[in-house]
Amino acid sequence: MGDVSRPLYHPAADFFGRVRSLAGRDPADATTGARNPDNRLNIILIDLAITLYLFGCFGSTVAFVMKVQHLKEAPSWSLLIYAPTVLLTALAVAYKPHMALRTALIGGPFFLFILWTFASFQWSNQPDLTLRQGLLMCVTYGAACMVSQYLSWLRLARVLAGLFTLQAFVSAGLAVLTPQWGVMTEIYPGAWSGIWSFKQTLGVAMAVASGGVMGYALMQPEAVIWTDPARVIIVVC
């Protein structure tokens, strides 16, 4: 039985040909679950905690607060919610610097785009805002690298599907509980936007969410108990 604390194959390691193909083998947590249900439950709970953390930091929480409070710019405290991510990313880099670098470079154009965005504050008309957004993008990319470095493809798919599902359910819940918070207040007043500030952002997010949840449903057919309701809510949103 493999070590479930390590990914089945890491994206960067797979790219550099440092691990053998695992085609035909059961997912790590599926095999572990068959032999040790308690261990699989622990893995699922850890993935749920990661999902909730990502939702709090990167799930448009700040955008929702800005919409409710009618703020034009992100509040100063918004940068504090990224502090744990910065710390965890730094620890991940210090623990396995070579793997962290490979994970970052595997993004290719995305990595270059992040660097370009961060550097663009030097010629921006709004350098303070550009610098803040550049830092947030760097932190977001760092979080993505950290998560993908330590999770298997199956667990990564579960975390992303759970995150998309949570966003969809919260957006739909606003329509029932507090509809005044789920609509746009500017440009298109009254247009449904869920937890986001713009209806276009909601549409793009749900389009991505449909692919993420469907992908996990194909990987784990037994998860139909929550992936099917999730897909219905995503379509409604």
**pLDDT, tens only, 42-69:** 888 899 998 998 888 776 788 788 888 8
Between 14 and 119, the more confident residue is 119
Q: Mean pLDDT, to the nearest integer, of 26-38?
A: 50
- Residue-level pLDDT at 38: 61
* Residue 14 forms part of a structural domain: no
Q: What is the pLDDT of residue 34?
A: 46
- 151 three-state secondary structure: coil
Q: Please choose, from the candidates 55, 52, 57, the residue with its C-alpha nearest in 3D space to the C-alpha of residue 80.
A: 57
The number of distinct structural domains making up the chain is 1
Does residue 12 lie within any of the structural domains? no
11 pLDDT exceeds 60? no
Rounded distance between C-alpha atoms, residue 159 and residue 51, angstroms: 5
pLDDT value at residue 65: 83
Residue 232 resides in a domain: yes
User: With b meaning 16 or more CB within 10 Å and e meaning fewer, what string describes 59-95?
Assistant: bbebbbebbeeeeeebeeebeeebeebeeebeebbee
CA 216 from centre of chain: 14
Q: What is the average per-residue pLDDT within 26-36?
A: 48
Q: DSSP assignment, residue 79?
A: G
Question: What was the pLDDT predicted at 8?
Answer: 40
Global pTM reads 0.74
Residue 9 domain-assigned (yes or no)? no
Which residue type is seen at 48?
L
Amino acid 81: pLDDT:
80
Q: Which of 236, 231, 158, 237 is nearest to 194 (CA)?
A: 237
- In terms of residue numbers, what domain contains 188? 25-236
DSSP label of 196: S
- 122-160 tens-digit pLDDT: 888 888 878 877 887 887 888 788 788 788 888 989 999
- Which residues 6+ apart lie within 8 Å of 160 measured at CB? 212, 216
Burial-class residue 8 by CB neighbours within 10 Å (0-12, 13-18, 19+): buried
8 in a structural domain: no
On whether residue 72 sits in a domain, the answer given is yes
| pLDDT band with cut points at 50, 70 and 90 for residue 22 | very low
